[in-house]
Structure 1
Amino acid sequence: MLALVSAAGYGVSDFVGGIASRRVAALRVVIVSYPLAMVLLSVLALFVDGHVTGPAVWWGLLCGFCQAFGVWWFYAALGSGPISVVSPLTAILVAGVPVGFGVLMGERPSAVALAGIAVALVAVVLVSRGVSDEDVTEHRFTTKVAWLTVGSGLAFGLNFVVINEAPHDAGLWPLVFARIAASVMVVLIALVAGQLRVPTGVPLWLALSAGVLDTVANIAMLWALQNSLLSLTGVLISLYPAGTVALALLVLKEKVTRWQVVGMVAALAAVAMIAGG
């Protein structure tokens, strides 16, 4: 349940942030949402039992760097390459990295859970495919875009692996230090890109909402990882595109492809298989 709450939080946050990014540059949204999440997590950490230790700081900062580079490279890939290719490839890496590390660390999910992981990986790809072939002709999948796509997927996937190593008695402090590192990084990236300007009006409110949702998603992610296998939790959280697509259908009345519908049904089946296994 915690993993699914995290997936829902990330999915809704991406939807809200995506709407804001249609009005202003994506980096201008992130320089609001990330620092807000940092402040909220810092306040909440004071009320949750936890100790600030060296490992908590180290793993938290490393997680934040993964998040920052993941966002940077992902937006760069989307800006230069075909979304229909970049999004699914990134998503499959986000889901696959925790599985690989979990198995290497000795985790042995049941046969049913492993089958659920396979179904979930397929579901992530299908749900993420949401643009027409026209986008592919306008944006080429060059070598640069390929490296950016692989880099963002690995960075986001490693985010789960790294934060999973944080000591359980640290409470929410690893998330605080993760957001500190990520906030510093995105601000520097925005400065270099000439986008260090806080949005106003509706985009600002959407960015603030994304920050609140991101906070909820991060807390649920940490608690889920602490109470279950990395390989299973990471896959469940990586189903977040389903929430984004569902909201696009309900709120924006966007058309959903046949493959996306199949993907969402497969996602539900995967959740049941992983939970049952």
Structure 2
Amino acid sequence: MIALLLALGSSLAYGCADFLGGMGARKAHVLRTVTVAAPASLAVELLLWPLLGASFSTSALGWGAASGVASAAAFALLYRTLAIGPMNVLSPVTALVSAALPVGVGLLQGEHLGAVGLVGLPLALFAVVLVSAGHGAGSARPSGTALLSAFGAGAAIALQLVFLHQAPAGSGVGPLIVGRTVSSAVVLAAAGLLRRRLGTERPAYVMSAAAGALDSVANVLFLFAARSGDLTVVAVITALYPAGTVLLARGVLAERIHRSQLVGLGAAAVAVSLLAAA
């Protein structure tokens, strides 16, 4: 139950971070937004170090660095996917891959689900697709390049989660600090190389920093959820993050929640209840 609650908190924090990051990216080039969000995210993890502890063994350094590289790749591929579109088709692909791959890893590592879990897990995957699809899913056919980019983004997100899960249980937030340092360095280097293409608009500093801070909170919650529960369950619950984004968009921007998304939210609630009882 603790792992499930932590995973739900991680999902909510990821959804809020995505919403704020998307809003910030409307103000300036997305890379400018991330150059604010990434250091803010690292600062939060450094502040949590004295509270949650951190160790930097060879294993923690290796898995943390790997998660940072995967995180940077996820960022690049995700926004390439957004640029190509149509996102109402590609977003479910990205979300489903990001959930399914950790499930496969967990099962290969010997995790087992009871009868209730065997119903709740596919229902949660189904909910991920519906919640992230939005209006008109399937109305346009994505190109092969777009589909490949969406699969790549989902795989990179999944690898980030899997690498964090592989880090030593006693390493505290050490792998997160290493990973965020690596991904921040990659992002800042990319911004420096592409500075002439980023435009002159100033990023929304507060919104971007808040997105980075929430992303760190989500990472911390996921890490401790994965350490106290099965990766198969934790990864799928975490992948429900589009629900938080959808609900915020409804409350803040008055965006319509479409019928398929309502069904997805209902399916998510049932799936979480089933997994809690598993």
| Pairwise CA distance, 1:212 | 1.5
| Pairwise CA distance, 1:142 | 1.7
What is the DSSP-based 3-state SS (H/G/I as helix, E as strand, rest coil) of the residue aligned with 1:109? coil
TM-score by length of 2: 0.93
Which residue of 1 is the match for residue 131 of structure 2?
127
Kept in 2: contact 1:187–1:196 (CA 8 A): no
| Pairwise CA distance, 1:7 | 0.4
User: What is the aligned-residue RMSD (CA, Å)?
Assistant: 1.8
Query: Are residue 44 (structure 1) and residue 48 (structure 2) matched?
Result: yes
Distance 2:235 2:130 in 1: 18
What is the DSSP-based 3-state SS (H/G/I as helix, E as strand, rest coil) of the residue aligned with 2:229? coil
Runs of 4+ in 1 over 4 A off after TM superposition: 195-199
Alignment deviations for residues 10-38 of structure 1 (CA, whole Å, 9 cap, x no partner): 00111111111122122211111111111
Amino acid paired to 2:250: L
Query: Are residue 173 (structure 1) and residue 177 (structure 2) matched?
Result: no
Query: Are residue 17 (structure 1) and residue 21 (structure 2) matched?
Result: yes
Q: Percent identity?
A: 37
Which residue of 2 is the match for residue 81 of structure 1?
85
Kept in 2: contact 1:20–1:207 (CA 8 A): yes
The structure-2 alpha-carbon separation of the partners of 1:251 and 1:160, relative to structure 1 and needing over 3 Å to count, comes to same
Amino acid paired to 2:31: L
Alignment deviations for residues 187-243 of structure 1 (CA, whole Å, 9 cap, x no partner): 233334435689647x11100111121121111111101000010100010000000
Kept in 1: contact 2:29–2:201 (CA 8 A): no
| Pairwise CA distance, 1:132 | 4.1
What is the DSSP-based 3-state SS (H/G/I as helix, E as strand, rest coil) of the residue aligned with 2:28? coil
Kept in 1: contact 2:27–2:201 (CA 8 A): no
Kept in 2: contact 1:29–1:199 (CA 8 A): no
The structure-2 alpha-carbon separation of the partners of 1:20 and 1:224, relative to structure 1 and needing over 3 Å to count, comes to same
What is the DSSP-based 3-state SS (H/G/I as helix, E as strand, rest coil) of the residue aligned with 2:52? coil
Which residue of 2 is the match for residue 219 of structure 1?
220
2:6 to 2, 5, 10: 2
Which residue of 2 is the match for residue 271 of structure 1?
272
Distance 1:51 1:269 in 2: 38
Amino acid paired to 1:246: L
Distance 1:57 1:160 in 2: 15
The structure-2 alpha-carbon separation of the partners of 1:102 and 1:149, relative to structure 1 and needing over 3 Å to count, comes to same
What is the DSSP-based 3-state SS (H/G/I as helix, E as strand, rest coil) of the residue aligned with 2:255? coil
| Pairwise CA distance, 1:143 | 2.0
What is the DSSP-based 3-state SS (H/G/I as helix, E as strand, rest coil) of the residue aligned with 2:123? helix
Distance 1:254 1:182 in 2: 32
Kept in 2: contact 1:16–1:207 (CA 8 A): yes
Please show how residues 125-204 of structure 1 align to structure 2 within 5 Å. Answer: 125-132=129-136, 141-194=142-195, 200=202, 203-204=204-205
What is the DSSP-based 3-state SS (H/G/I as helix, E as strand, rest coil) of the residue aligned with 1:101? helix
TM-score by length of 1: 0.93
Alignment deviations for residues 157-212 of structure 1 (CA, whole Å, 9 cap, x no partner): 111111001011111110000101111122233334435689647x1110011112
The structure-2 alpha-carbon separation of the partners of 1:143 and 1:193, relative to structure 1 and needing over 3 Å to count, comes to farther
More displaced 10-residue stretch of structure 1: 176-185 or 34-43: 34-43
5+ residue gaps, structure 2, are none
Distance 2:271 2:22 in 1: 26
Distance 2:200 2:209 in 1: 11
Which residue of 2 is the match for residue 53 of structure 1?
57
2:76 to 68, 72, 77: 72
Which residue of 2 is the match for residue 113 of structure 1?
117
